[in-house]
Structure 1
């Protein structure tokens, strides 16, 4: 029969979960999450992703004079000549510790590197626990945060944003599943879907289930497990039909395990789009330069190369925006 589904206190990374973690455990938990997603070291890491500290395939960018000119006159970087960026190594492919257990690698570090290149600056990455970035940013420990931070109306009261990826969740199933695609509520009617308790995905799927019932369809059966391993086991043993998590995490797991596949994506802001953004101090003026830099990377193709390198092309934006509409306050 296996273990019964439970509603667990999930670990927080990015905009997925909403829990409180005691400060003394933050660094340890981040390392544990990264290790679990990697598969306990380089031996089990996916061959599709280079997690070496050297990163020979890192995409570099050219200087962007327009972006440099957009930096406010008198703006002071934390360290002169350096772009200091906070990143939470919560798991591949977004950001994780490399096989040397100390170098942070992934899509977000690569993107930070490209932005630094465009601004003619060196890059300094500061590994942080994800829930610590707001205090560190407001206190001036770093110039920006590039760590899967979603734009929300509440955050816009204290921070400025320059968007650089779509905020997507993924619908993934067993490779031999008969579920072909999930694009709207009716596609999920009657399915057994694994989701994290208290997450934005759960909130959206509860709305989907209500819509299905109102349309005369079967409700969605949401299932909750205490960790990723239990969730994936439930999927493989046919106790569940679908797993929903942040898209990037499942892209990595699919490449590593070769036994799940994507059948759809879901915007974190459904029914609207919700984007991930470079985060800076409110009113610092740096956001305009970072938006210009991002659009330069989009226009010259560097942006697409970075996302493709980390298998995240589905999360591409057509253009970067400064402080666009974000998730509303709930």
Structure 2
């Protein structure tokens, strides 16, 4: 078992959890395994035209990784955010669709570079990619090295096997004594560890935190009863529940619990690309293209009203 790194200070987040829980339940109900085009033929992918204002805002000093291309780093791991199509090589999902819109808006050809999620900071800092679109939450610590242009709410979900007696997980006491799977080095891990710390301080049973590097093994562990619950990316778990059955949502929370959190297109700090990307995202929101892409992947409940550059992020702990 790996050990936690940073722990958010635990404060009551019941109202946020309840609000996010209603949204997450609606999202899970709306997703079906037939909702998505997983064919390599993405003829129904939403496209747009070059955005002159956004292009003009890109600093002349910005050096793109490839001539005439926008190179996007993307972790292919969590459908419907991203996955491989039926040909096992074409990347499809919400993140690649958004990356396509951004490349179109900048008048460049999209090139997706699959990367492990843990490797996105190095990929950016080395100049291998121009930006990362991979469910990266805005945090104050990350803002020291990276810039963000926000594009989606960060929502986490608690899921249990269908046969589980657990009906609801909304607050720290609900996980006391449970075996809970989560993802190492993530905000969900921080939240779970914070909840556990609060429980132990109040004399409740500790959480047994479980980690699996292999998603298939993780899935088997949950469904077979080797774990009581999982806390991870809600959109991915909702997709898995609809596609395979056998698990169900029992609660959702903000990825920034106890505050709301957004994920953003991530770029090198001070590169000058963040502001043009934010402008482009807001133009896509205004045109309706942004909503079309969200709806294509049943992610409408995670929409934002306005993209922002480097908004307040999750605090350092």
**Length-normalised TM-score, structure 1:** 0.75
Unpaired segments ≥5 residues, structure 2: 4-31
Partner of 1:37: none
Report the equivalent of 1:27: none
**Structure 1 counterpart of 2:20:** none
Q: Hey, what's the Cα distance between the residues in 2 that align with 1:299 and 1:254?
A: 32
Structure 2 partner of 1:275: 262
- Give the drift of 1:229: 4.6
Q: Kindly indicate whether residue 192 of structure 2 is the aligned counterpart of residue 168 of structure 1.
A: no
**Cross-structure match for 1:313:** 300
Q: Secondary structure at the match of 2:298?
A: coil
Counterpart pick for 2:279 among 285, 289, 292? 292
Distance of 1:317 and 1:135 partners within structure 2: 28
- Distance in structure 1 (CA, Å) of the matches to 2:280 and 2:170: 33
Q: Which of residues 250, 257, 271 is equivalent to 2:244?
A: 257
TM-score, scaled to structure 2: 0.77
Cα deviations by residue, 1:172-205 (Å, 9 ceiling, x for unpaired): 1234655444333345456553334565323322
Which residue does the alignment assign to 1:222? 208
Partner Cα distance (1:212, 1:254) in 2: 29
In the alignment, is residue 327 of structure 1 matched against residue 314 of structure 2?
Answer: yes
User: What does the per-residue CA deviation read over 1:222-265, in whole Å, with 9 as the maximum and x for residues that have no partner?
Assistant: 35264545544454455644221222321221122122222322
**1:271-313: CA deviations, max 9, x gaps?**
1233221112222211111001111222222222212222323
Q: Which runs of 4+ in 1 moved over 6 A?
A: none
Structure 1 residues 5-46: Cα deviation after superposition (integer angstroms, max 9, x where no partner): xx369xxxxxxxxxxxxxxxxxxxxxxxxxxxxxxxxxxx94
Which of the residues 189, 194, 199 maps onto 1:207? Answer: 194
Q: Distance in 2 between matches of 1:158 and 1:145?
A: 13
Q: Which residue of 2 aligns with 1:24?
A: none
**Equivalent residues of 1:210, 1:219 under 8 A apart:** no
Match of 1:139 in 2: 126
Give the structure 1 partner of residue 96 of structure 2. 109
Q: How does 1:1-330 map to 2 (within 5 A)?
A: 7=1, 46-175=33-162, 177=164, 179-188=166-175, 191-196=178-183, 199-212=186-199, 218-219=204-205, 221-224=207-210, 226=212, 227-229=214-216, 231-237=218-224, 240-330=227-317
| Aligned-partner SS, 1:280 | strand
The CA RMSD measured in Å over matched residues stands at: 3.1
Kindly state the Cα deviation for residue 208 of structure 1 after the two structures are TM-superposed: 2.2
Q: For the structure 1 residues 223 and 74, does the alpha-carbon distance in structure 2 shift closer, same or farther, using more than 3 Å as the test?
A: closer
Judged with a 3 Å threshold, the aligned counterparts in structure 2 of structure 1 residues 299 and 180 are, in CA distance, closer, same or farther, namely farther
Separation in 2 of the partners of 1:113 and 1:79?
Answer: 16
